[in-house]
């Protein structure tokens, strides 16, 4: 069909968009449509839904279980306030210990406490009682290499009488075969679903061991022993110095400026004997113990057999004829096991403060004919002292417990 101008009727080419006869455009223009209007109530509904969605997200994030982790300490907040949770190995409840380095020497095994303290953030007061009610489960684990010779071990966390300010305590055991790096991890699973983890990096180092006897050192008299000990007095505290003494009598006072292990011997019925006593002067609250084994301490009715300002453990020793056989003073803990105390003024006199206990055992001792067998004037820990297997015979006073120290005498014999 022929295309014509709709206005004047003149014939036009098919592709024409303009009529040259009447000068009019022949394209049809469509009128723009107005956009549809969205109701205001509908817009408000969408906005309200968005706000509610955001609030729901915030509420979900704030109430879902959370995990709080830290090295040596964490701060945990709930509806009742903010708490500081601290782990360390001391009686200092406020100082965290993210790293702990210790050594393994000559002993068969070693132990230290991993201690959890819980403090109110605002006041610093002990919050253990309140906080532990919120805990579903507490556990301690050791993260360590699979190829370690003797893995570090830990006990289940629980309260410990010797550390009465602590919320919980786990006892960590290790040997020389445990040397290397590991990590102690405290995990508290809260009743509200939260999880708290506190970590301490543990490094166990093999310390140096020095062994001396008559074969490689002059031990002929007290002066010779003193020269040997003084020669190594400045060795690091973790160096074990072991001296095996000949079966002779030493008649001068021996002074120990640091921890030294002394072992006596016996020959032809004669044991290693000291008649002028030993003075221990290591007063820096160190953890290092001087072990004294198989030695006789024989006095003349005066003086002190061993005056200990450093940690001490006597085993299978004999004390007789001293005004005081063993005296602890300053910042020190002493143990005595399987020893004999005869005819002393005071056999064991405890008068020390402000240090953690090495061990609770005072077992297997024989106390005979002493004016006072055990005098507890000041004891630095409220640990229960175990006198199991001890025999008390013909003493003026068996136990003078002036500081009301907890003692276990249920397995002791009094006669």
pLDDT digits (tens, 9 = 90+) for 258-316: 999 999 999 999 999 999 999 999 766 667 899 999 999 999 999 999 999 999 999 99
Q: Does 175 share its domain with 257?
A: no
Assessment of whether the complete model's pTM goes beyond 0.75 = no
Domain that holds residue 126: 67-206
Q: Does 141 share its domain with 232?
A: no
Q: Does 224 share its domain with 106?
A: no
Q: Does 213 share its domain with 202?
A: no
Confidence of residue 30 (pLDDT cuts 50, 70, 90): very low
Q: Does 295 share its domain with 381?
A: yes
Q: Does 193 share its domain with 233?
A: no
Picking from 191, 190, 200, 202, the residue whose alpha carbon sits closest to that of residue 68 is 190
Q: Does 101 share its domain with 136?
A: yes
Q: Does 249 share its domain with 107?
A: no
Q: Does 316 share its domain with 256?
A: yes
In a domain, 39, yes or no: no
What pLDDT does 26 receive?
Answer: 63
Q: Does 360 share its domain with 284?
A: yes
Which residue, of 178, 206, 234, is where some domain finishes? 206
In a domain, 408, yes or no: yes
Which residue, of 167, 185, 206, is where some domain finishes? 206
- 113-142: average pLDDT: 97
- 128-132: average pLDDT: 96
In a domain, 315, yes or no: yes
In a domain, 4, yes or no: no
In a domain, 343, yes or no: yes
In a domain, 25, yes or no: no
Which residue, of 143, 175, 206, is where some domain finishes? 206
pLDDT digits (tens, 9 = 90+) for 103-115: 898 788 999 999 9
In whole angstroms, give the CA distance from residue 4 to residue 13.
8
Q: Does 184 share its domain with 255?
A: no
Phi, psi at residue 228, to the nearest 5°?
-65, -45
Q: Does 345 share its domain with 287?
A: yes
pLDDT digits (tens, 9 = 90+) for 83-100: 999 999 998 999 999 999
In a domain, 301, yes or no: yes
Picking from 314, 316, 375, the residue whose alpha carbon sits closest to that of residue 345 is 375
Considering only residues 357 and 17, tell me which one the structure prediction assigns the higher pLDDT: 357
Q: How many domains does the chain contain in total?
A: 2
In a domain, 18, yes or no: no
């Amino acid at each position: 069909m022929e295309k014509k101008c709709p206005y004047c009727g003149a014939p036009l080419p098919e592709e024409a968009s303009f009529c040259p006869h009447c000068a009019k455009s022949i394209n049809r223009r469509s009128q723009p449509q107005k956009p549809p209007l969205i109701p205001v109530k509908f817009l408000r509904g969408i906005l309200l839904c968005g706000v509610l969605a955001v609030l729901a997200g915030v509420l979900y994030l704030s109430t879902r279980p959370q995990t709080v982790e830290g090295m040596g300490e964490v701060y945990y907040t709930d509806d009742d306030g903010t708490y500081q949770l601290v782990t360390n190995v001391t009686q200092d409840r406020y100082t965290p210990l993210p790293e702990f380095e210790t050594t393994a020497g000559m002993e068969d095994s070693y132990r230290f406490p991993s201690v959890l303290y819980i403090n109110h953030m605002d006041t610093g007061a002990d919050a253990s009682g309140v906080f532990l009610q919120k805990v579903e489960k507490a556990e301690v684990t050791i993260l360590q290499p699979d190829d370690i010779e003797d893995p570090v071990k830990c006990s289940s966390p629980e309260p410990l009488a010797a550390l009465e300010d602590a919320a919980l305590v786990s006892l960590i055991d290790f040997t020389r075969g445990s040397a290397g790096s590991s990590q102690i991890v405290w995990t508290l699973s809260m009743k509200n679903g939260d999880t708290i983890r506190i970590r301490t990096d543990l490094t166990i180092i093999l310390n140096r061991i020095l062994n001396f006897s008559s074969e490689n050192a002059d031990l002929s008299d007290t002066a010779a022993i003193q020269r040997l000990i003084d020669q190594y007095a400045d060795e690091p505290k973790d160096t074990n110095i072991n001296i095996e003494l000949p079966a002779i009598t030493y008649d001068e006072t021996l002074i120990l400026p640091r921890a030294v292990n002394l072992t006596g011997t016996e020959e032809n019925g004669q044991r290693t004997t000291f008649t002028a006593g030993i003075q221990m002067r290591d007063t820096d609250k160190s953890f290092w113990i001087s072990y004294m084994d198989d030695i006789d301490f024989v006095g003349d009715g005066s003086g002190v057999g061993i005056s200990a300002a450093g940690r001490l453990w006597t085993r299978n020793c004999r004390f007789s004829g001293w005004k005081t056989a063993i005296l602890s003073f300053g910042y020190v803990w002493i143990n005595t096991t399987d020893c004999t105390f005869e005819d002393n003024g005071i056999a064991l006199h405890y008068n020390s403060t402000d240090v953690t206990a090495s061990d609770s055992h005072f077992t297997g001792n024989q106390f005979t004919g002493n004016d006072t067998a055990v005098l507890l004037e000041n004891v630095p820990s409220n640990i229960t002292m175990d006198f199991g297997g001890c025999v008390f015979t013909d003493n003026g006073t068996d136990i003078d417990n002036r500081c009301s120290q907890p003692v276990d005498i249920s397995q002791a014999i009094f006669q």
